[in-house]
Structure formats: C-alpha cells, structure tokens
Amino acid sequence: MAWLGAVFLHALAPATGAHAMGLVVAPQDSACVAEASVPAPLIPQPVQANQRLANSQAVAGRLDVAWAWLGNPTVRYPHRALGSASHAASLHAVVKTPSGGWHALELTLPLHRVYEDLVPRIIDLDRDGSEEIVLIEADVIRGASLVVLGVDHQSGTPRLVERARSSFAGTPFRWLNPVGVADFDADGQLDLAMVRTPHIGGELQLLHYRPPVLVPYARVLDVSNHRMGAVEQDLAVVVQLAGQRPTIVVPDMTLRALHALRWDASGRWVELSDVKPLPGRIEELAPMPGGACALLDDGRYAAVRLMP
C-alpha cells in the first residue's frame, strides 16, 4: 500500500498554557492509583477459542462485535518481538447480525502473512455503529503493517473485511506497536497512533483513518512503547483532559525517560513534560487520573500528571 500524503519530522516545541509534573514515588503511593476499568458486556466469552494463540487475549466489544481473538498459531514468520516465534494465522470474532442473533466469523491470512500481535483492539473508528478491529499484520517480505478490519453486513451473511492499512515497515522482522485511538488533531474524527520500529529508532506516528488507507500526518523520533521480547504491549498512555487535545505519554528509546507529547493547533509537537533520567527502566505503564504511572525495574514508580 502506498504511503499517501507528505510526512515531515517535526521538532518539539516548548509547552505553553499547560504543563506536566513528574515524580518518583513508593509502590504504595496513592499518586499512582490506576483508572477504573469499564465493565465488559455480559456476553459469555468463547470457551473454545479455536486454538487461541498463546499469551493472546480474547477482547470484548460493545456494539456489533461481541468478542475477537487470534487463533491458528504458526511459526512461518519466526520473529520474536513478542517473545515467541509463534504468531496467529487467523482472526476470529463473534458478531451481532442485523436480525439480532450472533454469528461466528473467521478471517484466515495467506501463507506469507501473520498477525504479529496479541490483542485485538475493538473500537468504532468512524462512529457508524459498527466496530472495527485494529491489529498488527506482518508480511514475510515487507514487515509489519497496521490494519483495520471491519464487519461487512451488506452481503447477507456478516464477514470480516479489510477497511484500511498503513504502509509496511519495509523489510522482514521490522515491527510496529499501536499506542491508542483519539482525535489528536481536533478535526472531529478519530485517529490512530503507533510507534514504528520501537526497538530500533522508534518513531511515533499519528494517522488519519481514511479507508482504504491509514494516512500519516505527524511523526517524532526517539520513543518506544515496547520492550523487545515482552508480551506487554501497552508502554504508552493516551491522556484526555477536558477542553484539551489528547496527550501521549510514552518512554524514550532507553525506557529511562517519559515524554508527554501533544499535537497542537499550529501543526507541531508540544512536549509538556520530559521526565528523565529515571532511576530505573520502565517495565509497565498504566493510566491514572490526569496522567500515567510507570513501574520501574527497581520496584519504584514514576508518575506524570498533566496540569491544565
């Protein structure tokens, strides 16, 4: 898929009108209380997950996708970014039909592709009442790509189809890791954020959802949201404060600093915080009210809290 639109490397601008605070606290400190999660819908989780990929998650949706999970493990693409050479050859979902029933779907990849991922991300990107599924798909020649799948209800029987895709990383064993979804440029539409090659010169990208492509419109270097070989994929947090654009809290390439980055109205990155050097390496990162909290490898926590 061609890379559409001009993409520039934007310099970080000094923060104005907002700031962030960084601190190191003890493990029991209330400053790092995680945000409460929203209960999942009361739809039974599939017990037989068709050879679900090891360490992967079955994820519940809220509209027409009840559950989605990755299955049919294969070692035909032996990259170990997530700790194993085994990846999923298929996506499975239970979706709601127009008549109100439930239908089991499967989308199997060709032999030169795998889902190099552990977590289907379910969200209604275009707000049309039908959910999309966001996944990392890898090609044996072109490397990883971010793909958006949807449910086609128009053909009578529901089926999973590709809605949009980013460009590929370019070569085999070049990976990417999603960050989150938000309206980063305040145009009224949801965008996607990802880190391309988080282990070798990580590049944070913001992408417009413009089927059949994901169009990058902003990027910045020296970030990483993943530790090579770890199953944990959530080393970045999107913070949304009332009346402000979303902010991405993400480590640097060394995993010993935390950046708080926002794409502002002038079309540039603003760095609200640069917490460094941390006394330990970031092992986990979780949302907390108004910010994010990192668990360090020495057992302490580093918190970033955004201030209006």
Residue 273 amino acid letter: S
Which residues on adjacent β-strands are paired with residue 144?
138
Tokens (6 digits) for 125? 């990107």
Q: What is the pLDDT of residues 224-283, one digit of tens each?
A: 999 999 999 999 999 999 999 999 999 999 999 999 999 999 999 999 988 888 999 999
Instruction: Return the pLDDT at 139.
Output: 98
Please give the pLDDT value at position 101.
86
Q: What is the pLDDT of residue 109?
A: 98
User: How far, in whole angstroms, is CA 308 from its chain's centroid?
Assistant: 25
**How large a percentage of the chain has pLDDT more than 90?**
75
Predicted confidence at residue 154, as pLDDT, reads 83
Fold for 12-307, please state it.
Methylamine Dehydrogenase; Chain H (2.130.10)
- Checking if the pLDDT of 29 tops 60, the result is no
Using alpha carbons only, give the angle 84, 87, 91 rounded to the nearest 5 degrees. 150
* Share above pLDDT 70 across residues of the chain, in percent, rounded to a whole number: 84
pLDDT at residue 48, as a whole number? 53
| pLDDT attached to residue 221 | 96
Confidence tier at 180 by pLDDT (50, 70, 90): very high
pTM for this prediction: 0.88
All structural domains of the chain with their residue ranges: 12-307
Q: Give the pLDDT confidence of 103-151 residue by residue, as tens digits.
A: 999 999 999 999 999 999 999 999 999 999 999 999 999 999 999 999 9
Average pLDDT over residues 177-182: 98
